[in-house]
Every structure is written in C-alpha cells, then in structure tokens.
Amino acid sequence: MESNEKPVAVVTGGAGGIGKSICGALARDGMRVVVGYNRSATGAQELVNSLPGEGHAALSAPVTDSAALAGLASTVNARYGRCDVLVNCAGTTRFVPHGDLEGLDDNLIDVILATNVRGVFAAVRSLRPLLDRSTLSGGAVIVNISSLAAITAMGSNVMYCASKAAVDNMTKSLARALAPKIRVISISPGLVETDFIKSMDQRWRDEQLERTPLKRLASPNEVAAAVVAAVKNFTFTTGAIIAIDGGRPLS
C-alpha cells in the first residue's frame, strides 16, 4: 500500500482532452491521481508518467461496466486505502442534427445514456465506501463534468443535452443523499478548446465565439482550475452547478 498521507483523486475519462488537464491540476495540487481509462491504456500511462509528484496510477475504469468499477474500487482500496475525490469526466457523444430523429438511433441513445448518466452513478456507487472514509478537509468531493447543453438544450445531439441535464439533476439528488460526508458539485463548461472542437469547421467556431460574451472558448485548464477550486475552496458548497461558459446564456 502507498503512503496514506496524500489525498487520492480518481478521474474517469482521465486520458481525454479535458481529463488530462484535470489530472494535471490535481497532481500539481499535491494529490495522487488515478487516471481512469476505458480503451486508452497507453495514453493513460503516458499521462501518469508525465504527472508531477508520486503515487499516480493508470487503472481501467469502463464506466458502463459496474463489475469492473467494483474492481477499480477494490484496487484503489488495496493500493491507497482511501479515495478523497472522484471526478466523473468520462463521456461520449456524436453530432446528429436535432431535427434528424432517425439519425439518433436507439443504439446511440443507449450508449450516450449508459456512459454519461448511468456511468456517473455507477462510479459514485462503487467508490462511495472509500469516499465516506475520507479525512480531506471539507469532506470528500464528487465533481461531475456536465455541460452548458444541460441548460440551453443546444449541443451535439438531443440525447447528449438530455444526458447532461440528467447529470445536473443527479448532482443535486446525490448532494442531498451523501451529505454531510461527501459534497457533490457539477462543473458545467460551455465549448472547450479540445482537439475535437478544434477540428470543427472554422465558420462554426467563429459563430460560437460571436455568441459568447467573452469572445473565446474555455481552455481545458480553466475547467481543471474549477475542479480544483470545487475541491479546495468551495468547502460549504454542494449540489451546485458551476458554469464555466464565458457568459454564453447571456447572449
């Protein structure tokens, strides 16, 4: 077992565009970070090797497989004996025009809901016993990475928007259910400058910038900074949806 002194953060989807920045920010803040991955084992291990500090690990965390998540929790317990922070960053989507109801087929709907909604709940369920035992100042923290699409109902497809609205609602329910030992917060970004967004049509990107009062997109590091703030600074906040959106709903 690792030294039990430093807090431990588990990040599902940790090797993704936003997840990488979150893992880096938590590591720089002195936490031991478990980079949870589904298929990107190599990328997760490369990220672990690049993180400052010691005690980090890349562990399989397929959020649609509850048995595998139970195994993740068992491994985290055996290796660290604690879990203080869970960041639910794993998610999936695909662009389907909102009016194309046939294009949003049942299989895609099931994949989105299983990953973005059930996966969040399953990760919380598996790690709750460890989170309950956290000695972190302010208590353990669950941070769900949501989206502005939950509010505006504008996003990659209808079901993605619905899934993020479900995450925000779940954040409130879990905040009530898991208090006072565990705080639960949603971080809700607008468009974030990931490689996925950078690959989009430039005219579309320019239109999004024009619709955003601060005239730019969020950086992954800004989302990561909000996660760290939720853990360290918002110690009397739970059940809240924290927007990182440049004021987009104001336009």
Structure confidence at residue 200 as a pLDDT band (50, 70, 90): confident
Domains of the chain, by residue range, sit at 8-243
**Taking the C-alpha atoms of 58, 112, 130 and 69 in order, what is their torsion angle to the nearest 10 degrees?**
-60
pLDDT of residue 5: 84
What are the tokens at 240?
């809240």
Is the separation of the CB atoms in 179 and 204 below 8 Å?
Answer: no
Q: What is the mean pLDDT of residues 212-223?
A: 92
pLDDT one-digit tens code per residue, 76-106: 999 999 999 999 999 999 999 999 999 999 9
Q: Are strands 32-37 and 8-12 parallel, antiparallel or unpaired?
A: parallel
Residue listed under structure tokens 């950086």: 219
What are the tokens at 65?
């497989």
- Confirm whether 160 is a catalytic residue: yes
pLDDT one-digit tens code per residue, 104-153: 999 999 999 999 999 999 999 999 999 999 999 999 999 999 999 999 99
Question: 109: closest CA among 156, 56, 49, 62?
Answer: 156
Q: What is the mean pLDDT of residues 167-173?
A: 98
Catalytic residue among 37, 80, 121, 160: 160
Q: CATH: 3.50.50.60, 3.40.710.10, 3.30.420.40, 3.40.50.720. Which one for 8-243?
A: 3.40.50.720
Mean pLDDT score across all residues of the chain: 95
Structure confidence at residue 2 as a pLDDT band (50, 70, 90): low
pLDDT of residue 1: 47
Q: Using the predicted structure, report yes or no on whether residue 213 has a pLDDT greater than 60.
A: yes
Distance CA 244, CA 146 (A): 10
Kindly list the distances between the CA atom of residue 181 and the CA atoms of 81, 85, 137, 167, in Å, as whole numbers in the listed order. Answer: 17, 12, 11, 20
What are the tokens at 251?
């336009």
Amino acid at the residue 39: R
